Amino acid sequence: MAGITQVLSQSENFPKVPGDQPWSVVDVAGPSSYTAITPADPIVTGGQQLAQSVFGLNTNIVFACSMGSDNGQYTVNVYHETFVPGQPTTGGLVLQWIVAATGAEASGNLSARTVRLLVIGRN
């Protein structure tokens, strides 16, 4: 398995049954002023920044994913604010809003739209 990091699997005892760790499902409204993501090391800038506390988890985030927006206009890529391979994130998440029809990154006021996130925390 070249290129696959096993650290997280070993430390979290994956594979495991759903519900063995804290999960949170949260509806998140878009920001009123969205700016494009700028890749940076170690913290991604721009996008929609969300603190861990938004998800009601008193733990680090192991995994997160998103459904499309309420009207199908946008998809969302979910990034760890800080990402270390094989480790849960110690920061929040960053959402990158994408226009579903074109694949271009969104801009401007997205506050009328909502996406649903699934966030899995650490025991």
Per-residue pLDDT of the chain (123 residues; tens, 9 = 90+): 444 444 444 455 666 667 777 888 999 999 999 999 987 776 778 999 998 888 888 778 888 999 999 999 999 999 988 777 766 667 789 999 999 999 999 999 999 999 999 988 876
Check residue 27 and give its pLDDT. 94
Check residue 48 and give its pLDDT. 95
- Where are the domains positioned within the chain? 21-111
Alpha helices in 5-55 (DSSP H): 7-12
Contact 91, 82 (CB under 8 A): yes
Check residue 87 and give its pLDDT. 66
Alpha-carbon 62 to chain mean position: 10
Check residue 121 and give its pLDDT. 84
CA distance 74 to 2: 34
Prediction pTM value: 0.83
